Structure 1
Amino acid sequence: MSLNLCIDIDGTITEAYYWLNAANRYFDASVKPYQVKEYDIHHVLNVSREAYQEFYRLHWKELHGEARPRKYADLVLWKLFMQHDISYVTARETVTRDITVQWLRNHGFPEMDLHMLGSHYKVDKAKELDCDVFVEDRYENAVELALSGFQVLLMDCSYNRKPLIPGITRVTSWLDVHEEIETINLRKQKLAPYIA
């Protein structure tokens, strides 16, 4: 039995703080990863949203191109890819598609459907893809998805350590992700005869 999996990119398959060194240089700041307590980066840097957007506009290519993948993300995604239907679902704008596809190739990730929403709202896309499990790092996204009935694996980051609601499971690595998805799949297989 296979599952429909939705996988976020930034902070989920990439390291969560890959933007930090460049942002510190640009804004003459010295923020450390453990000090990143919220998702909105301009708040973390104590600059205006407009100032951060200008930084991103100037540097998005190198930020996304030089991001490092999380440990074991590629290996686990290949294992899952052999058994399940997987889609990348990201808030990135479509203008970043080429660099995103190239980054995924360069780091040995399986080539799967890539949905670039240009928005953090992912519920409608999860419904469209009949998602069984969504792997995500943004707390607000996880809550929205869980409240809409989706099972969410929340990749642990300093900015998402808030109370979990039913439907959200915190994971600390891609090995955890694999284990949780295997457990969910086994549970689904056991239930299948009763809901068929």
Structure 2
Amino acid sequence: MKSGKVLTIGIDIDGTVTSPSSIVPLMNECFGKNLRYEDCLEYNLANIYKITDEEFADWLDQYGERLYHEAPVHGNADQILRSWHQEHKLIYISAREDRHREVTLNWFSRYHIPYDEVDLIGSHDKLASARKWEVNLFLEDRLENALQLSEELEIPIFLFDTPYNQGVLPDFIHRVYTWEEVNHKVKQLFPQTASR
């Protein structure tokens, strides 16, 4: 087996490796609502739940640990990431804060999800981190991130389809619906990965 990794893949965690709908039941429970995931037509859930950004930040302070602990895996992300790790470098770049490192790494361990680095940057601006790790492609669910990364880095972005990221996409951004589809598209875009 060759020692070098073929690709360096940047991967968001929430809504990408975890199920994008996982936050809704907990927010419903806490705010006494009965919203559906399909009702979340914008990324900023403070607007959806009609609360202030400060109230959402306070809620995340209080419930972030539970949210990150309980989040289910998105489809068969765990299986595909295990298969990728044999030939690709997996760099997770998340807006989670570093104080959630322990719960994050415990979650990765519980689902046997491999990683080379977990970069919890505490911000939605992932550009500097993506540059630092020299990623060749990026997996994301937030449209604004996908647009910034594709424009600045000119690399392929796989955007997982959600109610809150609809719209016309530029050439570098590929809307995807399942992890199987991502796996297939990686092999299409990077033929050297399909020859193993």
Give the alignment's TM-score, normalised by structure 2: 0.92
Q: What is the Cα-based RMSD across aligned positions, in Å?
A: 1.5
* Among 58, 66, 89, the residue aligned to 1:85: 89
The runs of 4+ residues in structure 1 deviating greater than 2 Å are none
SS in 2 for 1:89: strand
Question: In the alignment, which residue of structure 2 is the partner of 1:170?
Answer: 175
User: 2: CA distance between counterparts of 1:84 and 1:28?
Assistant: 43
User: 2: CA distance between counterparts of 1:184 and 1:3?
Assistant: 11
Are 2:154 and 1:154 equivalent residues in the alignment? no
Question: In the alignment, which residue of structure 2 is the partner of 1:128?
Answer: 132
Q: Deviation at 1:188?
A: 8.7
Compared CA separation, residues 188 and 72, structure 1 to 2 (3 A): closer
Question: In the alignment, which residue of structure 1 is the partner of 2:42?
Answer: 38
Q: Deviation at 1:155?
A: 0.8
Q: How many residues align?
A: 189
Gaps of 5+ in 1: 190-196
Q: Deviations over 1:21-50 (max 9, x none)?
A: 111121111110110001111011111111
Question: In the alignment, which residue of structure 1 is the partner of 2:187?
Answer: 182
Are 2:76 and 1:64 equivalent residues in the alignment? no
On the 8 A contact 1:146/1:167 being kept in 2, the answer is yes
SS in 2 for 1:125: helix
On the 8 A contact 2:12/2:139 being kept in 1, the answer is yes
Gaps of 5+ in 2: none
On the 8 A contact 1:132/1:151 being kept in 2, the answer is yes
Q: Deviation at 1:88?
A: 0.8
Give the letter aligned to residue 93 of structure 2: V
On the 8 A contact 1:105/1:111 being kept in 2, the answer is no
Q: Deviation at 1:53?
A: 1.6
User: 2: CA distance between counterparts of 1:16 and 1:188?
Assistant: 28
On the 8 A contact 1:2/1:185 being kept in 2, the answer is no
